[in-house]
Chain A
Amino acid sequence: AQSVTQPDIHITVSEGASLELRCNYSYGATPYLFWYVQSPGQGLQLLLKYFSGDTLVQGIKGFEAEFKRSQSSFNLRKPSVHWSDAAEYFCAVGPMNNFNKFYFGSGTKLNVKP
């Protein structure tokens, strides 16, 4: 069965510090992987996606993610966090045969200390 695990429920980092949010997935075929961000009162905004090719994916707002097949992971990173990055982040897996039936993790809430 498909599943996505985000082991960190809450993370607090200082502004300017680096960030890594973890995502592990379980899927029986080649996964299509996504990271979304959700601010209060907002819908989900796509940060980046991975389909194939280069395992290091660049996204918007300075985020990047690395796909590691051997570890079934797709961790999100940012070298220097800004206060405006405080939000909830969701990792998602999309199956090959259904483009929009996503399986989401339970999210990681990011707090940024000044």
Chain B
Amino acid sequence: DAGVTQSPTHLIKTRGQQVTLRCSPKSGHDTVSWYQQALGQGPQFIFQYYEEEERQRGNFPDRFSGHQFPNYSSELNVNALLLGDSALYLCASSLFTGQRETDTQYFGPGTRLTVL
């Protein structure tokens, strides 16, 4: 049973460009959350997708957008890249059961984005 997978592993972009990161959730999961982890920091919540809709959003500008597909996979898009967007982007998946005790997130290995 594959866990959460993310692609690509590493990515280098220049300022002003746009980037798309991809995530496939763990089998059986229907909810995907995205986090940004800057160097030396803990992950910060970007947004969460459930039933193909953005359900929650953290304190990130509109340059950060996402999408969830019918197969529950998800994309994170970042427009007009800034140097400060350089970070590890983590995807996490879970199954929405409505029960706090069982809604456990599983994280992927992340995509390392470098903006030059």
Interface residues of A (CB under 8 A from B): 4, 6, 32, 36, 41-46, 49, 51, 90, 92, 96, 98-107
Contact = CB atoms under 8 A, between A and B. Distances in A.
A99 B43 contact: no
Interface residues of B, number: 27
B103 interface: yes
Given A100-B103, A107-B40, 14 more contacts: A32-B100, A43-B90, A44-B90, A46-B106, A51-B101, A98-B48, A99-B94, A99-B103, A100-B33, A100-B92, A101-B45, A106-B40, A106-B42, A107-B41
A104 B92 CA distance: 14
A40 B84 CA distance: 21
Contacts of A42: 109
Contacts of A102: 35, 43, 45, 105
A68 B105 CA distance: 24
B9 to A, nearest CB: 9
Contact of B110 (A4, A43, A92, A107): A43
Contacts of B33: 100-101
Given A98-B56, A99-B100, A100-B31, A45 B42 contact: no
B72 interface: no
25 contacts: A32-B100, A43-B4, A44-B92, A46-B104, A46-B105, A46-B106, A51-B100, A90-B42, A99-B96, A100-B31, A100-B56, A100-B105, A101-B33, A101-B48, A102-B35, A102-B43, A102-B105, A104-B35, A104-B42, A104-B43, A104-B44, A106-B40, A106-B41, A107-B40, A107-B41
Contacts of B56: 98, 100-101
